[in-house]
Amino acid sequence: MNIILFGPPGAGKGTQAIKIVKNFGLHKVSTGDLLREEIKNNTDLGNKIKSIMDKGLLISDNIINDLITKVLSDKKFYNRLIFDGYPRNLEQAINLDLHIKKYKQKISCVLSLDVDKESIIKRILGRQTCTNCGLIFNEYFCPASNKNHSCDPKFLNKRSDDNEKTILNRFETYLNKTLPILDFYKEQNLLYHINGMAEIDQIFDKIRSIIASLET
């Protein structure tokens, strides 16, 4: 069972992915996280990636396809992946299909978190990620405190592409390139719409019931 978590930037994909990993023992693949790792390594490629990311544009399909091939061909993760932020355009979706077939795996569902643009902007501007444990907080809606987070606050980090100008570009990129792939998955009867404006736990309850109803 492989699952795709779909939605605009700031829809809460990362937050729900953490819960799915914990409850269903899947392995999370966030292409955004893999790209940020490359940036941390300070390589030429990492620097190029950062400048594209900071403009709110998509990184080239060749780079993304290489990252995904590595994960799909790894027997450790066989048929137990949750994709967060991938695929981001039709070419990537078609490439994923080819590789899923090649490695004899299956996409079981595409979970689309539906959230409006105004909420996305507020969510992204307040977003903080703990670089130590990976938990995601929001300065306005769900601040980190000693009740929900045990790491030192110094690990709380804001992403360089989480600023107002880049968010608007990322949202445009989402509308033009990413949203159209929903039809591709709808035609395959894999698509489930989820109200991403609900409470985090309510969203997860819905996700849990969908996953539980799937054939593995």
Residue 28 near ligand AMP by CB under 6 A: no
The closest alpha carbon to 162, from 60, 59, 53, 34, belongs to 53
Helices (H), 55-139: 61-72, 90-102, 117-126
Residue 123 near ligand AMP by CB under 6 A: no
Among 2, 3, 6, 86, binds ligand AMP (CB under 6 A): 86
Size of the site for ligand AMP (CB under 6 A): 17
Residue type at 62?
A: N
Considering only 28-36, 40-48, 126-134, 188-196, which stretch makes contact with ligand AMP by CB under 6 A?
A: 28-36
Which CB, 56 or 144, lies closer to ligand AMP? 56
Which CB, 173 or 211, lies closer to ligand AMP? 173
| Cα gap 99→101, rounded to integer Å | 5
Among 5, 11, 53, 203, binds ligand AMP (CB under 6 A): 53
> By the 8 A CB rule, do 115 and 7 touch?
yes
> By the 8 A CB rule, do 161 and 36 touch?
no
Report which DSSP code applies to 81: E
| Cα gap 40→18, rounded to integer Å | 22
Considering only 19-27, 56-64, 107-115, 205-213, which stretch makes contact with ligand AMP by CB under 6 A?
A: 56-64
Residue 113 near ligand AMP by CB under 6 A: no
80 counts as catalytic:
no
